[in-house]
């Protein structure tokens, strides 16, 4: 074994030891559409709950049936696991009175955390009557929810400019939001510059980085296109030739996510939000290597 390899291994081991028990994690799930998908979801929740996440969130679909599923899943998570469950809530196609009823229902069932979002129309020509800032104000007027809002380190696709996007985020914080969860990203420098710009403008809440473990690069390209996320050239090269090799893709995805968390942790980040896509394997492996244990 060469000295170089031994030295690199020692550095890696030391970095992981330093992280052991010093980071917090949270996980995002989405409502299942079929019985089979529901089984996969609960299998993932059952595995990841042992990592003692700060909270788990459940996304909120565009139609009523999916929204009802979100509500049921969130309440079942709280009841069956004791985890802090945070439903996503959008305001783009729901009246204020309906939102108030939803908020009161959650509060009465012991749900204290909400991820407040504007949401998106499938018809881009429509203009929303409410925005996330309005939803934050409405929720805070109903009860003292702990509210997370979204941010885009690489700028929201609908924002007029990076500065306008940042000002909008500041307004959400001023309206009562308690923390920020970012869209997934792979350019760490972009995230760090964004965090610095948040501090300059007076955003003093936690900016939790969103981490997406990538098992399917082609699917990632689709996600990235409509979320305005840049895929670095080095990352494209890592997945080259792996279209028919899922095991190698998983190993690459795990290694990238681990390296991101290590670097961000050295920059003072202690909380990380994982987009699980309802699959626990990659996220569990990443957290295990990073020292997040039951």
Q: What whole-number percentage of the chain has pLDDT above 70?
A: 89
Q: Mean pLDDT, the chain, as a whole number?
A: 91
Record the pTM: 0.91
Name which of 4-13, 164-173, 249-258 the model is least confident about. Answer: 4-13
pLDDT band at 5 (very low <50, low <70, confident <90, very high): very low
Confidence check: pLDDT of 270 > 80: yes
Q: Residue 67: its pLDDT value, please?
A: 76
Name all domains of the chain by residue range, CATH numbers in brackets. 23-289 (3.20.20.220)
Q: What digits encode the pLDDT tens for the residues 61-71?
A: 655 557 788 99
Q: What digits encode the pLDDT tens for the residues 7-37?
A: 444 545 555 556 655 899 999 999 998 999 9
Q: What digits encode the pLDDT tens for the residues 228-245?
A: 999 999 999 999 999 999
Catalytic choice (10, 28, 36, 38): 28
Q: Residue 1: its pLDDT value, please?
A: 41
Q: Which whole-number Å values give the CA distances from 9 to 4, 13, 168, 267, 282, in the listed order?
A: 9, 6, 44, 21, 22
> Could you confirm whether 38 is annotated as catalytic?
no
């Amino acid at each position: 074994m060469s000295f170089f390899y031994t030295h690199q291994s020692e550095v890696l081991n030391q970095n992981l030891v330093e992280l052991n028990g010093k980071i917090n994690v949270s996980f995002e799930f989405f409502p299942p559409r079929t019985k089979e998908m529901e089984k996969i979801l609960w299998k993932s929740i059952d595995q990841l709950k042992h990592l003692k996440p700060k909270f788990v969130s459940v996304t909120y679909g565009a139609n009523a049936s999916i929204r009802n599923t979100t509500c049921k899943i969130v309440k079942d998570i709280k009841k069956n696991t004791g985890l802090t469950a945070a439903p996503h809530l959008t305001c783009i196609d729901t009246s204020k009175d309906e939102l108030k009823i939803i908020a009161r229902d959650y509060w009465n069932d012991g749900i204290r955390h909400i991820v407040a979002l504007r949401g998106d129309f499938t018809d881009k020509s429509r203009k929303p009557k409410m925005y996330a800032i309005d939803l934050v104000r409405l929720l805070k007027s109903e009860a003292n929810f702990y509210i997370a809002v979204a941010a885009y380190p690489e700028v929201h696709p609908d924002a007029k400019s990076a500065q306008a996007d940042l000002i909008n985020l500041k307004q959400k914080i001023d309206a009562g939001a308690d923390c920020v969860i970012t869209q997934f990203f792979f350019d760490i420098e972009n995230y760090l510059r964004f965090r610095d710009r948040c501090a300059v403008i007076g955003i003093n809440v936690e900016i939790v980085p969103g981490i997406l473990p990538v098992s399917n690069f082609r699917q990632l390209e689709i996600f990235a296109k409509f979320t305005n996320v840049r895929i670095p050239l080095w990352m494209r090269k890592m997945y080259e030739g792996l279209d028919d090799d899922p095991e190698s893709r998983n190993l690459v995805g795990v290694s990238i996510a681990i390296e991101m968390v290590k670097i961000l942790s050295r920059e003072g980040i202690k909380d990380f939000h994982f987009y699980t896509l309802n699959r626990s394997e990659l996220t569990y492996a990443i957290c295990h290597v990073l020292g997040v244990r039951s």
